[in-house]
A and B are shown apart, each in its own frame.
Chain A
């Protein structure tokens, strides 16, 4: 398809039909950017991840949807453990579905972005929606914003501790043709509030799906936000996800990104430390097989002084899969006394597996502590022999060693049902894949 023209037609229609929308101008600005930037081709940030070919296909692209094609039975097959005790928000083909969602915490405010933009919360939307575009100067981010309509606004009031985690299901229904889905959400965690988010991606059916998702999270003073991303979709699915976290008061954030399967996966994670004494932790694990491609692009931007960030990403790559890790740390001139740590460790299990890892530190202040390190290696032979010499078969020994390698990421998944679930998925994967 002629990308720009195709989207222009859809975009004009969307704007016509929603001419009094509070999001109209945000969309227009984003579409102008998209027209200017286009789909990234020979773009430095997309060097190892080629997505232009994904735009050569025909997709069903619902900019809005009247009736959902997902049944409760479909949803039940995709639910995560612990859902009985969770708030569940469901996106179908990029459109937020109220009927399929369940809100268990009274204090949790959930509304469509459209509604938020026109009512009481319009200031929040105007001020924070699209902040991620400052860090992602490519057409992909702009494309999501250009079509923002039925996204979700999640608001936690001052002092509220949301005890039930919020599970977000991004479901694409590819049972009748290829689907392009663009879920969008804006999360606001007010002063002294706490929130846990768990996000997952699933495709129904065998046609191709391409999800281009953006979530922006704002964290106020003395607040705490945890974000967990679990990716275990099929090999014919593609995802570009953006998680943009901005800490605007002295606060704490914690993210864990687990990528177990999928065709092409690109995760942008931005952490903007925009107040003094912020603390942010970023963990990631990618366990790849087949032809999968997982690209984690992270940015930690130290805007204000005295912030702390710690980043640990680990990869286990098998078959002909490819991994990419790109970790940027910016320390702005005024951000003195920054502490920023980064580490990326990889194990390649086959001769055809590969990983491109690149730390990128840009430090403009002179009184900071920053470190980075990356390793690419094989499974430790001596460790393997040690376990085997105790009667443990080679297969189980390998599985134990790889599991041990992953543990220091896994242990940071705090919601227990989710940690157990991921742990089980990984153990099963390690035991059945290894030969």
Chain B
């Protein structure tokens, strides 16, 4: 589904203070197949969020080398909205507040824009409402939240639940969860994880970006990768996550630094 080859990326040079190196990702290789759940872990500043941003097409990031293939197409050539149309979804670490835009209106526009991209007719009001009701129940979201302005005044938990609710509405093929667990209490983590699990199928895939192992108790990954200094330095199964939780990231750092010095 997703093939990342030798990806180098960073902040656009003209946005940096002079003399500062903009490279954040230093040769990422990663392949995700349909039906799989991958987790990317790593210490602060290792490039986790940059990877998520580059994949979703955020401005101000520059790819200097490498390729990303998504379902047979060159992902990096596509605009953010095309990526969404093709089935990519990014759950934001910091969902944006947009006063004046109702959440329902936003989601309806998104659903129908994606349908348009895929050559489908827009959903009529009845069908849309039915789909919403179904997904609201799944995410334990109240109607009153959806009639409010998008994310405005939402609590941290409400924002993250709203992200997964959008994911449920848009039914992506690959969902990237960028630190969706940050700022959530235990109950909220469970609701969010539960939502993600119910959306899993053999046809779609999930990439979970997180600092902590806790979320992975609920969304159980098939593979765990450790990102450090913009490279995947270690990959393994879910046991790797437990090892990290126990020993901290230092043991990875030490391993890497030893390799470098050898």
Contact = CB atoms under 8 A, between A and B. Distances in A.
A391 B84 contact: yes
Contacts of A388: 57, 79-81, 84
Contact of B101 (A381, A385, A394, A400): A400
B193 interface: no
Contact of B170 (A383, A386, A391, A408): A391
A385 B59 contact: yes
Interface in A327-353: none
A387 B58 CA distance: 11
B100 A403 contact: yes
Contacts of A397: 81
B221 interface: no
Contacts of B98: 383, 386-387, 401, 404
Contacts of A407: 99-101
B85 interface: yes
Contact of B106 (A382, A393, A394, A400): A400
Nearest to A408: B100
Contacts of A406: 100
Interface in A213-266: none
A404 B101 contact: yes
Contacts of A382: 96
Given A385-B80, A388-B81, A388-B84, A404 B58 contact: no
Given A404-B99, A406-B100, A407-B100, A392 B81 contact: yes
A397 B98 CA distance: 12
Interface in A351-408: 380-383, 385-394, 396-397, 400-401, 403-408
Contacts of B113: 390-393, 396
A400 B59 contact: no
Contacts of A391: 81, 84-85, 110, 113-114, 117, 170
Nearest to A406: B100
B11 to A, nearest CB: 14
Nearest to B97: A383
A394 B95 contact: no
Interface string A256-291: 000000000000000000000000000000000000
Contact of B110 (A383, A385, A390, A404): A390
Q: Which 7 A-B pairs have the closest CB atoms?
A: A404-B100, A391-B84, A407-B100, A391-B114, A404-B101, A390-B110, A388-B80
Interface string B126-161: 000000000000000000000001000000000000
A383 B94 CA distance: 11
B59 A386 contact: no
Most buried by B among A387, A394, A401, A407: A387
A401 B101 contact: yes
B204 interface: no
A381 B59 contact: yes
Contacts of A396: 109, 113
Nearest to B172: A391
A408 B106 CA distance: 17
A381 B107 CA distance: 19
A132 B113 CA distance: 52
Most buried by B among A385, A396, A406: A385
Interface string B77-88: 001110111000
Contacts of A383: 96, 98
A390 B79 contact: no
Interface of A: 380-383, 385-394, 396-397, 400-401, 403-408
A400 B100 CA distance: 9
Contacts of B166: 390
B100 A386 contact: no
A389 B84 contact: yes
B92 interface: yes
Contact of B92 (A380, A386, A401, A404): A386
B240 to A, nearest CB: 29
Nearest to B95: A386
Nearest to A400: B101
Interface in B68-82: 79-81
B2 interface: no
Interface in B205-224: none
Given A389-B92, A390-B106, A390-B114, 6 more contacts: A385-B58, A387-B98, A390-B110, A401-B98, A403-B101, A404-B149
A383 B85 CA distance: 18
Contacts of A401: 98, 101
B244 to A, nearest CB: 29
B227 interface: no
A406 B114 CA distance: 26
Nearest to B83: A389
B168 interface: no
Contacts of B101: 400-401, 403-404, 407
9 contacts: A380-B96, A385-B80, A386-B98, A388-B57, A391-B170, A392-B110, A397-B81, A400-B101, A407-B101
A394 B89 CA distance: 17
Contacts of B117: 391
Interface in B51-65: 56-59
Nearest to A386: B96
Most buried by A among B58, B85, B100: B100
Contact of A389 (B80, B100, B105, B109): B80
B31 to A, nearest CB: 23
A394 B170 CA distance: 18
A420 to B, nearest CB: 15
B9 interface: no
B232 interface: no
Contacts of A386: 92, 95-96, 98
B164 interface: no
Given A385-B59, A387-B106, A396-B113, A408 B99 contact: yes
Most buried by A among B81, B95, B105, B110: B81
B90 interface: yes
Contacts of B92: 386, 389
A407 B99 CA distance: 9
Nearest to B60: A381
Contacts of B105: 400
